[in-house]
Chains A and B, each alone.
Chain A
Amino acid sequence: AQKVTQAQTEISVVEKEDVTLDCVYETRDTTYYLFWYKQPPSGELVFLIRRNSFDEQNEISGRYSWNFQKSTSSFNFTITASQVVDSAVYFCALSESPSNTGKLIFGQGTTLQVKP
């Protein structure tokens, strides 16, 4: 069965600290996609990144970076020099197979609080 686990329920850091949000997934498929979404207090989930299973190259976008490791079935998200505006709930998700359904399997989310 497919599953996404975000073991960290809540994380609290002080501004400018680096923080890593963990995501571990389970799937028997060889082809799949992984996603990260951010949900600020306003409520709307904002798409951050999509990564396919054949691309293990780490990605960096400004203060955000993602580390995809198939060997450990992990897709971790790091925020460098965190800011108060990073406070949100972050969700990791996995594309559900078989394909063509467009369905995603979400983790339970990690609430990040960045204190000034």
Chain B
Amino acid sequence: DVKVTQSSRYLVKRTGEKVFLECVQDMDHENMFWYRQDPGLGLRLIYFSYDVKMKEKGDIPEGYSVSREKKERFSLILESASTNQTSMYLCASSLSEGLRETQYFGPGTRLLVL
């Protein structure tokens, strides 16, 4: 079974703090993704990576950065957290298969920025 883990289920941070969200997958997948999920807006893609040290902006990259130093790990960084970044963050990974790729998700991190 594919296993995608996220470092924290719940996180509380203060405005201006630097926040790291970690995601690890154990299936040797090439692609990894970070989404945020907000009520009424569904899932919105923040960043994705199709290889080590490679990254591509998604639909809402502003205020975020990412790092992929190893194939199995994809980190999402909030350089200076703001209250509008309070959200559910979901990480996913997939094997590189073109259109038929299936993404597998982690349990999510609920981030509250005070």
How would you classify the secondary structure of chain A's contact residues: helix, strand, loop or mixed? loop
**Which B residues touch A97, using CB under 8 A?**
99
Contact among B50, B98, B100 with A50 in the assembled complex (CB-CB below 8 Å): B100
Residues of A at the B interface (CB closer than 8 Å) are: 9, 31-33, 35, 37, 42-47, 50, 52, 91, 95, 97, 99-104, 106-109
The residues in B between 55 and 109 inclusive whose CB is less than 8 angstroms from any CB of A are 56, 58, 88, 90, 92, 94, 96-108
Task: For the complex formed, measure the closest distance between the CB of A106 and the CB atoms of chain B, giving whole angstroms.
Answer: 4
**Which B residues touch A31, using CB under 8 A?**
99
Residues of B at the A interface (CB closer than 8 Å) are: 9, 31, 33, 40-43, 45, 48, 50, 56, 58, 88, 90, 92, 94, 96-108, 110
Contact among A32, A44, A47 with B107 in the assembled complex (CB-CB below 8 Å): A44
**Which B residues touch A50, using CB under 8 A?**
100, 102
| Docked-complex contact A95 and B43, CB < 8 angstroms | no
